[in-house]
Structure 1
Amino acid sequence: MRTKKWNVLLTLTVLVGILAGCGGGNSGAGQDTGNGKAANPATTSTETASAEAGKTKVQFWHSLGGKNGEYIDALIKRFNDSHKDIEVVGTYQGNYDETVTKLQQAIASDTAPDVSMLERAYVQMFADSDVLEDLTPYMEKSGLSKDDFTPGLMGHSIFNDKLVSLPLNRSTPILHVNKTLLDKKGLAVPTTWEELKKVANALVEKKGKEYTRYGLTMPYDTWYPIAMISQAGGKFFNDEKTSTGFVGNGVGEKVFSYLKDLQSTGALYYPPAQDSGNIVNGMFTEGKVAMMFQSTGAIGGLSSSVDFDYVTAFLPKNDRFANPTGGANVSLMSSSKQKDAAWEFIRWMETDPQGGLQFILQSGYLPFTKKMVESPEIKELWAKEPNRKVAYDQLQYAVDTNMDVAWPEVMQEFFSAIEAIMYDSKDIPATLATFNKEAERILAEN
């Protein structure tokens, strides 16, 4: 079974990597689309010289390029400067999916790092293959508990009664709003699907046959339909993990019919798959779309680019508020030869004020411990930038219903269904039924 899982993982992550675009969020695993996946031209490392004699070297693989790569490099430097006996070597391995592929290969060849960043949707795959260390005894020895962490971000940390990962660069999708445009029409920020439809349609502008402004947009990703499935009272997988939990009960049909109705009037602009995140961000900053479903990770970049009153809000509810989470966790590999030193790096990164807190302040990802949330630095940030607090407050409604070892493979089929419906206007019930049949086959094989 372990061999099969590795083979499936390798095949799927290669396929997903083809889809993943810089900043586009096209992997569909619930990724932060605003930043954190910026492309680097090649694998890079913070190691500039061999470790000094007597120092324990810890290899750390991550998926952060661009500005976030600089922030994680600075974090590593702060750790190394404050630990005379340990040297962490941080290596950028490409985007989330590329990192997973390289990690799978490294484990098979016994060359895995000591610590690795893992996009949260892939943690279960590695956990089920028994290659992640149970952090429980290390936590206990350090006086830590899972209760010290932000509850809405711990859904991908415990598998098979083992605590195998901790949150690091985490995000959620939220509603980004050009409030200036809404104010001109006397419209309030929508809180429900019905309000969203009315506001989105009211903000459409058209010259001849061409739309010059759309009401709403979102990147090409599975993240946003999954959020809406949960908002409509459904689940991605059923409780038994034998089928989906939104096909055949009207939920999936409701979600995609809603989106197609918006699309038909210009109320929704659904972007091309390639580079979709950058496309919709650009349209939003240029005022060509009034509202956007997008990651919390986009807040920093948008704030510095817009020239209008920009606010964020919870994703509008249907039956209820609900939102999936995204981004990555950090794990200790069970093959590590220096687990104590590796754990010290994780502990420091997660809890030391000079560790993850500074990274969160710089990058815009969500604070992942309760102490971090209560820190003067975060409180000052939220007072200055209330848009960021909205993202944290929405975590009370965080729910991830696509958790299963088969998710990466099912995800590809879901992408096909999304494309058929949103791009080709295929029949919604028939398309979802075909997808459901494939999902059931995959689930049965896993």
Structure 2
Amino acid sequence: MSGRARGAARSGSSAAVSRRDALRALAASIAAAAAGAAVASEAVDCARRTPDGRIGASLWFAYGGKNREVLLSLVDKFYRSQGIYRIDAVYQGDYFEALAKLRTALAARAAPALTHVVGEVVPYLAEAGVLEPLDRFIRAPPPGHGDIDVVEALGQAGTFVGGGERPLVCLPFNRSTPIAYYNRNVFRELGLSPPSTWDELRATAARLVVRDGASTRRWGFECPVDWWFWAALVGQAGGDVVGPDGTPTLGGDAGVRALRFWQTLVHEDRTMKPPPGRDYNAWQVVNTDFLSGRVAMIWTSTAFLRYLEDNASQAGAGRFEVGAAPLPRDVRASVPTGGTMFVMPRGAAPSAQEAAFAFLRWMMQPEQANSFATRTGYIPVSRRGLKDLTRDGYYAAHPNDRVALDQLAHAAPWPWSPDLFRIQREVVQPRLEEAVLVPRDAAETLSEAVRAARER
């Protein structure tokens, strides 16, 4: 076992403990928040007038860089578009850092009126009773605003199995799928096309690799060793991470096949560079390696489309054209959806809720939904807005943007399971990197993970 692999195993074990402690603390604080819902009107985000005389509400958000700039510009535009409400947008770190802060705020009955959370955590929060049902806000749209009309695959009904049969507690915000990015210049030079199957991915990655003795100057493929991409592989291999009855299966044989595919690329083919770090640190390494030319093909989120296109075109002598393609299939095409949903934590005063939902409704309108999507790379969440973009020729002029949208035809819904987030963060994620880097036997790793997932 290499020093790096031993380090990964040790750090993976300690990371699992810290994640487990964090999740247990989250469960305890959410239970306390739910128990105190009857007196939640004492929340800090209470009825208040801002210094300019408007009704105020807090929005907690969880990303930086270009996407942060786009959101803040829309918050400012909302302020200038009317004279009643003010939204105070506060950055809270990445998705998981923001969730930890939300945990603390829920326990203190000081949650914001509006925030956004990763889709997998919505069932957990909803079943704990700490999310405000949104139906009552939607039933009476103000004049001129019309109904909220979201792309079904990206809303609660399409994101979760049975999601449409439950009270509405979330609306789509920054929604995504994983997609493949490739260096068009290198692909043209080698006469390659984006791979459409797993076998083609192996062959293409091998063609892309450039060795210099024992070192690798350019890798063929890179992907975060992360739950989301593994779930994509599981779906492509014909499996599901959770069965129809809610029992965790982690894909069964398909889950093992998915994990072994990564192991093959890393150890047998030596074409995949496993990025160091965890969570979004690893994702950033993938982006940096791609832009620097250290890897010619990556999987990451459509959320990074504008970022990668803009930076690749400004990379000095190393600048190149970014291509995007669907993820390759195994026995079928399949991708998970990702990104976040807007939710309104319970406990805000009625006036703060009014302000929060006024902003939320405004963000769901075609103009704003399209502005956010086209400036970032996320998928448009407004169905009417999507029709407008198609009619106006946006996708003909920006074919990379079309990739994630077309993949929605193969989107695999998540189960509505309060355990889904625990399975992701506590059970699967800590084991993936160790299994790929060490490597550990894939069947043994997932058998152990299934046992842990079924513990209550």
TM-score (norm 2): 0.81
**Cα distance per residue 1:114-167 (max 9 Å; x no partner):** 111122221111111122222223222228667x21122124474771111101
Question: For 1:52-131, what aligned pairs fall within 5 Å after superposition?
Answer: 52=51, 54-131=53-130
CA positional deviation for 1:204: 2.0
**Cα distance per residue 1:252-271 (max 9 Å; x no partner):** 22112222122122221111
Q: Does 1:358 align with 2:371?
A: yes
SS in 2 for 1:235: coil
**In the alignment, is the contact (CA less than 8 A) between 2:249 and 2:450 conserved in 1?**
yes
Question: For 1:316-335, what aligned pairs fall within 5 Å after superposition?
Answer: 316-335=328-347
**In the alignment, is the contact (CA less than 8 A) between 1:123 and 1:156 conserved in 2?**
no
Q: Which residue of 1 aligns with 2:5?
A: none
Q: Which residue of 2 aligns with 1:246?
A: 251
**In the alignment, is the contact (CA less than 8 A) between 2:366 and 2:382 conserved in 1?**
no
CA positional deviation for 1:352: 5.6
Q: CA RMSD in A?
A: 2.5
Q: Which residue of 2 aligns with 1:285?
A: 291
Q: Which residue of 1 aligns with 2:311?
A: 305
Q: Which residue of 2 aligns with 1:257?
A: 260
**In the alignment, is the contact (CA less than 8 A) between 2:120 and 2:414 conserved in 1?**
no
Identity %: 28
Q: Does 1:438 align with 2:452?
A: yes
Q: Does 1:151 align with 2:156?
A: no
**Aligned partners of 1:102, 1:320: CA distance in 2, in Å?**
39
CA positional deviation for 1:417: 2.1
Of residues 418, 424, 427 in structure 2, which corresponds to 1:413? 427
**Counterpart residue type for residue 11 of structure 1:** A
**Cα distance per residue 1:291-319 (max 9 Å; x no partner):** 11111112112212322342111100111
**Aligned partners of 2:50, 2:125: CA distance in 1, in Å?**
29
SS in 1 for 2:181: strand
What runs of 5+ residues in structure 1 fail to find an aligned partner? 1-7, 16-48
Cα pair distance change 1:324/1:103, threshold 3 Å: same
**Cα distance per residue 1:189-232 (max 9 Å; x no partner):** 21111111111122222222222222111023111111000011
Aligned length: 398
**Aligned partners of 2:89, 2:135: CA distance in 1, in Å?**
24
**In the alignment, is the contact (CA less than 8 A) between 1:12 and 1:408 conserved in 2?**
no
| Bigger helix fraction | 2
**In the alignment, is the contact (CA less than 8 A) between 2:49 and 2:56 conserved in 1?**
no
**In the alignment, is the contact (CA less than 8 A) between 2:159 and 2:414 conserved in 1?**
no
**Aligned partners of 2:364, 2:21: CA distance in 1, in Å?**
29
**Aligned partners of 1:54, 1:400: CA distance in 2, in Å?**
44
CA positional deviation for 1:185: 2.7
CA positional deviation for 1:341: 3.0
Is the deviation greater in 52-61 or in 316-325?
52-61
**Counterpart residue type for residue 269 of structure 2:** T
Cα pair distance change 1:277/1:379, threshold 3 Å: farther
**Cα distance per residue 1:10-33 (max 9 Å; x no partner):** 822989xxxxxxxxxxxxxxxxxx
Q: Which residue of 2 aligns with 1:5?
A: none
**Aligned partners of 1:352, 1:187: CA distance in 2, in Å?**
38
Q: Which residue of 2 aligns with 1:233?
A: 238
**Aligned partners of 1:74, 1:344: CA distance in 2, in Å?**
17
**Aligned partners of 2:390, 2:174: CA distance in 1, in Å?**
17
**Aligned partners of 2:58, 2:171: CA distance in 1, in Å?**
17
**In the alignment, is the contact (CA less than 8 A) between 1:127 and 1:159 conserved in 2?**
no
